[in-house]
Structure 1
Amino acid sequence: MLNDKLLEVLAHPADGEVAIVTQGIDMPHVVNTWNSYVHITEDDTLLIPVGGMKKTEENIERDNRVKLTIGSREVQGKTYKGTGFLITGTAKFIEEGTEFDMIKGKFPWSRAALEITIDTLENTL
């Protein structure tokens, strides 16, 4: 499901921002991380280290649907330099197992890993 352009964005040395949106009780909640923190598994699942994200975790316990935006001003887009993606999927927090151990090894400050299973991927820029 992941395409080469998104992989290029995630691998680009000029780090970009990732916005993760969950549904709160009364409104959406947004938290940010960095492109370079996103790890892609062999089955195209995204793994993101978690330091805080307490509100995000609470929201996912009630409703596991998420939206992410990922972009880079440095990667060629559809018509000009700069591209971005909208991802929808489902998420869960993992605190043990192989994936968590890998994330914890790369990011020792992680208390968990956010695992995102992609449902849709749209190139928006």
Structure 2
Amino acid sequence: MLEESTTLTQNFLEVISDPQPVTIVSYQASPAHVVNTWSSYIKVVDDSTFLVPAAGMRSIEADIAAQNSQLILTFGSMKFEGTEGPGRGYHVYATGEFVEAGEYFDLMKADLPWLRKVLVVHVQEVKQKI
């Protein structure tokens, strides 16, 4: 059965723990913008918030600044059992904001000195796809 939640579930956190690519889409922009990062860079703050370092991500940042903060992030891993066999994947529907100072920025900058800003992701819904 496919899992759906408004928070980060234990099954989702298993997937995020496997260092895999993550895709971030600002889908309300015209055209939509797509960027990528690694799941190993992401820090979970609580069950509905996580942090993504931004070295670039200027297209997504511009979309958010233009009041298009709706994002879809995709996560997946072959390491965990999914609904039809090996492999589990999720879409995370969220809003985002970029910060360049403060607690979240300092937390991320301590481990990732190359970052320019931090994308704070506020989860609205998590849907398992496979």
Please tell me the TM-score bracket, short chain as reference.
over 0.9
AA aligned to 1:115 is V
Q: Report the Cα offset of residue 96 of structure 1.
A: 0.7
Counterpart check, 1:41 vs 2:45 = yes
TM-score, normalised to structure 2, is 0.89
User: C-alpha separation between the residues in 1 aligned to 2:47 and 2:126?
Assistant: 15
Q: Which residue of 1 aligns with 2:105?
A: 100
Verify: 1:121 aligned to 2:126, yes or no.
yes
The residue type equivalent to 1:54 in the other structure is R
Deviations 1:59-90 (A, max 9, x none): 11111111111111112112311110011110
Structure 1 residue runs of 5 or longer lacking an equivalent are none
Equivalent position amino acid for 1:124 in 2: K
Distance in 1 (alpha carbons) for counterparts of 2:87 and 2:100: 35
Q: Structure 2: how far apart are the matches of 1:21 and 1:117?
A: 14
- Residues in 1 aligned to 2:107 and 2:122: alpha-carbon distance in whole angstroms: 17
Could you list the structure 1 runs, at least 4 aligned residues long, displaced by more than 3 angstroms after superposition.
none
* In structure 2, C-alpha distance between the alignment counterparts of 1:40 and 1:25, rounded to whole Å: 26
TM-score when normalising by structure 1:
0.92
Separation in 2 of the partners of 1:40 and 1:75? 19
Q: For residue 30 of structure 2, what is the aligned residue in structure 1? A: 26
Alpha-carbon separation, structure 2, partners of 1:25 and 1:7: 28
Partner in structure 2 of residue 64 of structure 1: 69
Higher relative contact order (CA 8 A, sep 6+): 2
Q: CA RMSD in A?
A: 1.3
Report how many aligned residue pairs link the two structures: 123
CA distance in structure 2 between the aligned counterparts of 1:120 and 1:24, rounded to whole angstroms: 17
Matched, 1:3 2:9: yes
Counterpart of 1:91 in structure 2 is 96
Shift of 1:26: 2.7
